[in-house]
Amino acid sequence: MAIPLTKIIFPYNIHMQKTFPLKYHVPTPITGGQIPFLRLARREDRRQKCREVIALSQKDYCTVAELDIKEGKDNNEEITIPKEPERKLADIWHDIHGVDDWDGMLDPLDPLLRSELIRYGEMVQACHDAFDFEPFSKYCGSCKYAPSEFFECLGMAQHGYQVNSYIHATYNINLPNIFQRSLRPDAWSHTANWIGYIAVSNDEMSAHLGRRDITIAWRGTKTKLAWIADFMYFLRPVTLKKIPCPDPRVKVESGFLNLYTNKSQSSQICKRSAREHVLEEVRRLVSQYQNENLSITITGHSLGSALAILSAYDIAETGVDVMDDGQAVPICVFSFAGPRVGNTWFKERFAQLGVKVLRVVNIHDKIPEAPGLFLNEHIPPMLRKLGEASLWFYSHVGAELTLDHKSSPFLKETNDLACYHNLEAHLHLLDGYQGKGQRFVLTSGRDIALVNKQADFLKDHLLVPPNWQQHENKGLVRNNEGRWVQRERLNLGDCP
């Protein structure tokens, strides 16, 4: 008489699970507070997984640390999370600002430094979110919001800053990967683009920070990486653009320098260059707040990172950061996914001026490797002298915080290089990075759905649609006559 196969297999499975519990682990049911990472085989289990994920969409995702606690309790292990001593940002802001080049703060990553990096990164992301990319819009290439309501319209009023002025730039050649042009003949401008803003912390935020903070945020490119090809030219001395450098060997990439210094008398918006506007505004604000503790923080992503480094150098070299008592306001740059900007002498002069730079990069991103793919600070010393004599030798400045998107369990495998360069992905990685070789642990509760705001980078089982951020009706509103028209905005020529 044949014995049913199930009567042989089931007892054997039970025996193996009891004898080798680690090898033949029985998965525990997935609860609403856990993130489902298990690969389920049976159809009913898959349906249950979908139900759990949908339930998670109505709750906050737990961190990996919470998963550790749950796993530890299941395994009867004692889990303790060390309590960090309470510190106030106002007491250590000089360290956060890089007074000691972030010595001992990057590995492991200091929690306060992490929160500040994310906060300044969000101020750069605001430039992406507020920029009008729609070519059929009359205001394509401008900011969608007035300076007085900038942070409120973006849901960032809690950041505690007030925008003082907008920065616009112009260029004398066509740069379709960077400059957005309106297709309409009545466009606000055919030569200018909004490229950043200058903001100052309010009284409440200044008390929290321990100083009055002047922040300059530079907009980068949205997703296209082809823009870097427009900035692979030779190095040019900064003195050619009237930057008063005592060393004629100090050179920067010519495209960055032109974008920073170009102006157009035929444009109402760009009669002054971005450089002239920034220097005048910083000089005015330093004079206004010189009786307070003061800092200048410049931040940018991608192309904006290059402009942040160049403008920080210019402010220090020109001396507009010096107060009436002769003291210089500390200048710090938080750079995200930025390229190289200048040569070795630019790096040395940068350090002499005391400007601090912390560059946050994804190790798989290709933009920080350019320009200077072959002639850079990593070549052997024997060849460096030869390389430095050329017009193509570039060197990074400041300290580097290297992240790896493959360490995040939330991000999927993809060949899309734009995902590696995405700013929201960098902020997500900052939220989970603990140090080299450490497990990825989300710490701030920052919504991981933000990663897919302008990308397709999250794993599919998280059920976050890719590129979910959309401009409502592409800027059209219904007027009193029932017709869809574009809402009129502030006269951009009146922006400070």
Active site residues: 302, 365, 421
User: For residues 180 and 289, what is the distance between their CA atoms, to the nearest angstrom?
Assistant: 36
Spatial distance between the Cα atoms of 374 and 394, rounded to a whole number of angstroms = 9
How many residues make up the chain in this entry?
A: 496
Sequence-separated (6 or more) residues with CB below 8 Å from residue 338: 300, 301, 302, 304, 305, 306, 308, 309, 359, 361, 367, 368
- Angstrom CA distances, 2 to 5, 6, 449, stand at 9, 12, 55
R_g over Cα of the chain = 26
Nearest C-alpha neighbor of 263 from the set 379, 172, 165: 172
Q: Are 230 and 178 in contact (CB under 8 A)?
A: yes
Residue whose tokens read 């400059």? 179
What b/e readout covers 444-465, taking b as 16+ CB neighbours within 10 angstroms? eebebbbbbbbbbbbeeebebe
Regarding beta strands 356-362 and 251-253, do their DSSP bridges make them parallel or antiparallel, or are they unpaired? unpaired
Round to whole Å and give the CA distance between 39 and 135: 44
Whether the CB-CB separation of 365 and 337 falls below 8 Å is answered with yes
